[in-house]
Chain A
């Protein structure tokens, strides 16, 4: 007898409960599945992503920026990049989108236990790390010192300001830098690596989690390696074009690995075995 097979591509409806405008091109959409029972039992892990459907726009993978320690809603922080994400920026509270997931290999939270954590992000790259940071803060006694280095283009591009303020209050060492200063900015100017000059992080007790554009990524890797971080303790999450999200369509291929199922989270040790653009000279 033919067995019933679950339809893996079917999106579920989710309602926009709240929208937080992070800057002129990034907003955080706070969502809940319309099916209340499903919403109540929905679980995910930091680093995983959702396939988002927008009317007439198809689907795109968006990493979850909320922590699983706070159930009931999912946060998707989205930068305007293409048709679908621009469409999302036209959403209003009460609108419905389609969601399926969660997908992908998450950050290895257990391996982070008791370690000092050095988060390094650029622009929208803070979104997936925000999931980890808030998770760690919700289970504060399980993790060591937390440092967040965050680079933005200009001071008005600094996203997640509410989070940064909260994190500082909770004892997180948050350091910001911008590429180009504006009037009234008295903070650091320059690459995010410039924030690492007076770090007191002890590499043997620390894990670094990085997410940002390739140029930043390579610069940060060089710096971390030079101060003694080993590849196994440098983690990142990769961004790729995806269609299925479940390891079949192969749009997210990375030299034999697939970002959707083998990642999106990888250690640098794993990435070094691959020929990928992010690590090209």
Chain B
């Protein structure tokens, strides 16, 4: 259950002061926020000109923060082959310290999950370099969208922990909760923008939370599906049926804020040089597990679909105590085959009745 009462250290930021605060931040940080573009799409975007950017804090952005930390494709190394040897040079990319502003709780939980993935077994330098200089400013969701079900994955609509600053829209002002140390420094540094919060503000925060919780249009029984997977009682037919309808487009994995599987491949530039690339991959692709010579230890399609849902709802619960689906609903909106995770949860639960 997400927290109901605001964290102890809270402040107020008047909405009129938001642009001013962001302008100060933009002088010292690269600023990324959900911006509505001229086509009407809301996307996390690097903001160059704050005055012309239409920051959208209610409608969830179509992309998540994943691409900023694990780009769709990144160069890891350039390599050269010469009589002296076969030499790899790390790609030189400088990542500016960045403030990610207006991050919804689902995407913030996804960041915390990625932090674990990229430092559990071994510390992934390419991810952590981007993460080290980042500040996360979250916004709680007062009005969940039709495909949202973060209430069922324990990752919303309000955030419990993990951001540097956490904002709640209280009409003409934001309640600002201080999370991690970088958030404390920001408020201290620009304290002129903030005023003390009162008990009344904190009561309004609680009221807003209660109302938000009541606004979900979907009832998704994630907990029940988790239990079914753990008990091994999801019928094989459920996976078979879903795999028949999967069109192998990878859209779910690419949009998913917690799908972090990747591939590494070489791109030859000329006879004696090339670059090593890391790119997003998807466990639903038939070639994901295929080995040299053509053998594939995972039964194509059915096994791949099983892996997708079992990883998110069983294996990650075993490892981290919570599913790695954050209920953002992006796969629901992108999947034209009807094989998204909500459909899986529904079918898995039906199968048990």
Task: Report which A residues bind B (CB closer than 8 A).
Answer: 2-3, 5-11, 13, 34, 53, 55-60, 81-85, 96-98, 239-241, 243-244, 246-256, 261, 276-278
In the bound complex, residues from chain A placing their C-beta under 8 Å from that of B86 are 13, 53, 55, 96-98
Known: A56-B268, A81-B292, A276-B297. A249 touches B263 (CB 8 A): yes
B261 at the A interface (CB under 8 A): yes
- CA distance in complex: A278, B265 (Å): 28
- CA distance in complex: A5, B118 (Å): 12
Taking the closest CB of chain B, its distance from the CB of A84, in whole angstroms, is 7
Check A6 against B125 for contact (C-beta < 8 Å). yes
Check A253 against B283 for contact (C-beta < 8 Å). yes
Kindly specify which of B29-37, B146-154, B217-225, B309-317 makes contact with the partner chain.
Answer: B309-317
- CA distance in complex: A241, B264 (Å): 12
- CA distance in complex: A250, B308 (Å): 11
Across the A-B interface, how many residue pairs have beta carbons closer than 8 Å? 122
Kindly specify which of B76-84, B158-166, B200-208, B334-342 makes contact with the partner chain.
Answer: B76-84
Taking the closest CB of chain A, its distance from the CB of B177, in whole angstroms, is 26
Kindly specify which of B2-10, B11-19, B126-134, B241-249 makes contact with the partner chain.
Answer: B126-134
Q: A58-B276, A249-B281 are in contact. List 20 more A-B contacts (CB 8 A).
A: A2-B129, A8-B124, A8-B125, A9-B77, A10-B88, A53-B88, A55-B79, A55-B266, A55-B274, A58-B265, A60-B292, A98-B88, A246-B122, A247-B122, A248-B122, A249-B262, A250-B283, A251-B261, A256-B318, A278-B297
In the bound complex, residues from chain B placing their C-beta under 8 Å from that of A256 are 310-311, 314-315, 318
- CA distance in complex: A77, B263 (Å): 25
Taking the closest CB of chain B, its distance from the CB of A102, in whole angstroms, is 13
Q: Does more than half of chain B's interface fall in helix, strand or loop, or is it mixed? A: mixed
- CA distance in complex: A53, B265 (Å): 10
In the complex, how many residues of chain B place their beta carbon closer than 8 angstroms to a beta carbon of chain A? 49
In the bound complex, residues from chain B placing their C-beta under 8 Å from that of A2 are 129, 132-133
- CA distance in complex: A252, B90 (Å): 25
- CA distance in complex: A79, B117 (Å): 33
Closest to B126 in A: A9
- CA distance in complex: A241, B299 (Å): 14
Binary A-proximity of B162-180 (CB < 8 A = 1, otherwise 0):
0000000000000000000
Closest to B262 in A: A249
- CA distance in complex: A83, B293 (Å): 9
B87 at the A interface (CB under 8 A): yes
- Give the contacting residue for A253; candidates B128, B311, B318; CB below 8 A: B311
B333 at the A interface (CB under 8 A): no
Check A239 against B266 for contact (C-beta < 8 Å). no
Check A85 against B292 for contact (C-beta < 8 Å). yes
In the bound complex, residues from chain B placing their C-beta under 8 Å from that of A55 are 79, 81, 86, 266, 274
Can you spell out 19 A-B residue pairs with CB atoms less than 8 angstroms apart? A5-B123, A6-B125, A9-B77, A9-B125, A9-B264, A9-B276, A13-B85, A55-B274, A56-B266, A59-B264, A81-B292, A96-B85, A247-B121, A248-B121, A250-B311, A251-B288, A253-B298, A254-B297, A276-B297
Known: A8-B123, A246-B122, A256-B318. A82 touches B85 (CB 8 A): no
In the bound complex, residues from chain B placing their C-beta under 8 Å from that of A5 are 123, 125, 128-129
B307 at the A interface (CB under 8 A): yes
CB under 8 Å from chain A, chain B span 105-119: 117-118
Known: A59-B264, A96-B85, A249-B263. A82 touches B125 (CB 8 A): no
- CA distance in complex: A239, B297 (Å): 9
